[in-house]
Structure 1
Amino acid sequence: MQNSDVKSKNEHSGYLTLVSWITGMGSLLFGYNTAVVNGALGFMAKPSQLGLSPWAQGVVSSGLTLGAAFGAVFGGPISDKIGRKKMLIWLGVIFTIFGVGCGLAPNTGTLITFRFILGLAVGAASGTVPVYLAEIAPAARRGRMVSMNQFLIVFGQFLVFGINALLGNLFGSNAGIWRVMVSLASIPGIALWIGMYAMPESPRWLTSKNKFAEALKVLYRIRSKAQAELELEEIKANNKKEEEEQEQAASFRDFKQNWIIQICITGGMLGVIQQFAGINSIMYYGSQVLVNAGFGSNAALIANVANGVFSCIGAIVGMYTVDKLGRKKLELTGLIFCGIALVTVGLIKTYAGTASWTPYAIMIIILVYIVIDQGTLGPVTWLLNSEIFPNRYRGLGTGITIFTLWIANFFVGLLFPPLMAAIGLANVFYIFAACCLLGAWFVVVRVPETKGVNLEDIESFFRSRYDKNYTGESKI
């Protein structure tokens, strides 16, 4: 009997791992499509290709993140209506078709349009993948399966940096190689599209549609018989409770209350701070930054692969430290040291000029900066936004703050190339460092420490500060 239980557990574990990897193609595509311009833009900008100006480069890059802002807002409701599985299948179709479409784009306008549509898929995937994984994972594996989402995003960035370096160095004499770089995103798109047909629907979504028999069949595939039946009863009880609370569901009218507005400002500003600390100037334009620092084009493509490696290292560090150290402490530490790294790069660029050691020193400091950012600001921003909203307002509230984060991402991607061309790399990095300093001040005065704190106590922190009618006291 014990051997049978162990065998069943191993089978379920293997199947859940397969589910994680197939579903995770959506996260990998998130990373690949946002970062593919890092290495491809240099070829796109050649006169024989699209002849992109610095401003046009920013539009090509940021068009995707603008689409992602809207995809993040509308993806959730669509997923609730048609189901997580069907949503991910359609996202796989979009990633495949428009990935190839970008590679075949005859002009800049078509490329920007297709990148915007890909952005809608990226934004929808950024919400749907973690929700699907959270709903299908057993409680004991939920943290590991959901955190795989963040790892696969940065792994997708690392993957595309490696592919671009390989293609750029082997076939760089053909300026049209960028078309292959962007088209290769269709391969994981096909894996998501076809693979999701073999994946189960979320049992929680099925029960929300009163499809209890189908939900139980899914649970039998991923749990033991006893666990499946117990979990179905728990889901039914939870659904009944949610139906009773549905009459009091949050709406935009509730967001006129000052204390809720203040939570939205706090969450939105955390997203803006994360983006204006400059990480995506490196993830989107790392090759151009390294060329500006003094590397040759081919050497910059190779060196840029290290950005992806250190992003993965930072993401792993973040997964293991965010629950051990305080959120506020980790955020402040990250902002301070990111600011120091950015200023250091600026000073080297300003005063070392074209010294032989300058590009290597800048590359090393950028790698340190990446690890710090991806291990602190990256995970903490998403975690705090999931904690600061009361349960009733969490869905709508986090939708607003994620939209704000993507809009900030859009402006960083849009403005970095023309700013670097106009005022130089050093001055742009000084601006990012100033944003880190302002961000640290904001965190000190506005953000509570939420480690080990009940969600109800987090609500009382904001209500005691911003709700005149609140008579309770904050325990934070």
Structure 2
Amino acid sequence: MQDTEKTIQSQGNHNGYLTLVSWITGMGALAFGYNTAVVNGALDFMAKPGQLDLSTWAQGVVSSGLTLGAAFGAVFGGPLSDKIGRKKLLIWLGVIFTILGLGCGLAPNTTVIIGCRFILGLAVGAASGTVPVYLAEIAPASKRGQMVSMNQFLIVFGQFLVFGVNAVLGNLFGDHAAIWRVMISLASVPGIVLWIGMYAMPESPRWLSAQNRFADALKVLYRIRSKAQAEAEIKEVEANTKREKAAQANAVSLKDFKQKWIIQVCITGAMLGVIQQFAGINAIMYYGSQVLKDAGFAANAALIANVANGIFSCIGAVIGMYTIDKLGRKRLELTGLIFCAVALITVGLIKTYAGMSSWTAYAIMIIILVYIVIFQGTIGPVTWLLDSEIFPNRYRGLGTGIAIFVLWFANFIVGLLFPVLLDVLGLATVFYVFAVCCVLGACFVYIRVPETKGVNLEDIESYFRARYDKNYQGESKI
């Protein structure tokens, strides 16, 4: 009886510590969400005469420059985290978020803010790949989905936070055009928390194992697992690490990615990112006010309604966080893509055939909110989780970096072209295009993506090797 009570207490302590790890590490995701969405509300103030006096093109560059930087940050962030460790990189990212967040707020001209936003984007991209990888490597298989989904929740919470902050500051201090500087500078707050908080966090046990620091890895596992779980897991990780090093002792490089099975993993990871972005979510999160105005809302009403996008994003992310380990990754991804396609088509039909009826704007807003909940509870978190799971330990940093680079570049394309497409094609046609992308994405997921719910990271590797590596002698357990 006493042993049982000790076990329950130990598990509770581990769960509490893992929750703390998730929240501190997730400040990188919160900074990600805040910085990507802060221009939705700040641009109008920045563009005013006497401030930065931005042209239409300059507004687009300021908005999408961060996502372009994020694409490159994702590529460099992965190998850098492999070299210096997940923990150390996250500490440095906290420093960059803090300094560059303030730099954007103090920028004296357009050139400086574009440069600061691009560098800040490098940190956002590195965080977008490093945070989910760190959480996936530190979490037990049974809780990996929930912990990595915390990343998605804090991204959308950061977006909701900035929508609310911009709405409040814009209404209270709208007569002061320079209020945009406060809006943007507040992005440094989660950077400070990440910077300081990561000093108290453990290093990834799998990264430590990759450095042959198995004793240190075991010490970390003792802090986040029961004694029996820690010892069993370190044996499996150690055996897998030795197999990898016996197969190829050289350092990981792009040459390794010429292997067919690694290429196939990269294609799968990259396409998941393209599917996520071409489903249209960030067209709404970055340009929600414009979408709602096009649907029929007045400018002030659109700004207020835009806050609802952030609220419903958080609701969807919470739902996804607590269902992803129960319902499975593949099932959620397919369900999300199908229902998002239906929602997008419905908006297009209403816009096409209902015209500007009195109920049109409200109907479109409601359906968009439903779409947001579905996306943020399915496609959003599943993409980040799968990209953190499918790459083998040896190639995870660089492989995830490549996949996230493609995701961010797709994000950049959507952010840069959506205003133009909205103006040329109209809301209905653009949403039809997004719906087609959802359907094509569902076909890809059905054919290519394995179900990884409750599966050890090493067994996910065996699935791809058994399927695409002719020289592999093992069997897939999936």
Does TM, normalized by the shorter one, top 0.5?
yes
2:448 aligned partner? 447
Give 1:345 deviation, angstroms: 2.1
1:340 aligned partner? 342
Matches within 5 A, 1:15-414: 15-137=17-139, 141-206=143-208, 208-209=210-211, 239-247=241-249, 251-256=253-258, 260-325=262-327, 327-385=329-387, 395-414=397-416
TM-score, scaled to structure 1? 0.85
* CA distance in structure 1 between the partners assigned to 2:199 and 2:138 by the alignment: 16
Post-superposition Cα deviations, 1:72-105, rounded to whole Å, max 9, x if no partner, equal: 1111222233233322221111101111111111
Pair 173,137 (structure 1): closer, same or farther in 2 beyond 3 Å:
same
Pair 132,328 (structure 1): closer, same or farther in 2 beyond 3 Å:
closer
Pair 262,103 (structure 1): closer, same or farther in 2 beyond 3 Å:
same
Question: Which deviates more from structure 2 when the two are superposed, residues 88-97 or residues 131-140?
Answer: 131-140
Give 1:319 deviation, angstroms: 3.5
8 Å CA contact 1:346–1:425 kept in 2: the answer is yes
* CA distance in structure 1 between the partners assigned to 2:59 and 2:464 by the alignment: 42
* Structure 2 SS opposite 1:78: helix
Amino acid at match of 1:109: T
8 Å CA contact 1:343–1:429 kept in 2: the answer is yes
Give 1:160 deviation, angstroms: 1.4
2:427 aligned partner? 425
Pair 258,246 (structure 1): closer, same or farther in 2 beyond 3 Å:
closer
Pair 316,49 (structure 1): closer, same or farther in 2 beyond 3 Å:
same
* Structure 1 SS opposite 2:52: coil
* CA distance in structure 2 between the partners assigned to 1:194 and 1:470 by the alignment: 44
* CA distance in structure 2 between the partners assigned to 1:189 and 1:134 by the alignment: 21
* Structure 1 SS opposite 2:249: helix
* CA distance in structure 1 between the partners assigned to 2:419 and 2:402 by the alignment: 28
Pair 127,223 (structure 1): closer, same or farther in 2 beyond 3 Å:
same
Amino acid at match of 2:177: A
Question: Which deviates more from structure 2 when the two are superposed, residues 56-65 or residues 142-151?
Answer: 142-151
Amino acid at match of 2:304: I
Amino acid at match of 1:188: P
Amino acid at match of 1:315: A
Post-superposition Cα deviations, 1:177-221, rounded to whole Å, max 9, x if no partner, equal: 222111111111111112223334445545555667766665665
8 Å CA contact 2:132–2:388 kept in 1: the answer is no
Post-superposition Cα deviations, 1:93-136, rounded to whole Å, max 9, x if no partner, equal: 11011111111112222211111111111111122223333444
* CA distance in structure 2 between the partners assigned to 1:253 and 1:53 by the alignment: 44
Structure 2 unpaired stretches of 5+: none
Pair 37,212 (structure 1): closer, same or farther in 2 beyond 3 Å:
same
8 Å CA contact 2:105–2:182 kept in 1: the answer is yes
Pair 448,82 (structure 1): closer, same or farther in 2 beyond 3 Å:
closer
8 Å CA contact 1:339–1:433 kept in 2: the answer is yes
Pair 472,229 (structure 1): closer, same or farther in 2 beyond 3 Å:
closer
Amino acid at match of 1:133: L
8 Å CA contact 1:28–1:152 kept in 2: the answer is yes
* CA distance in structure 1 between the partners assigned to 2:450 and 2:215 by the alignment: 43
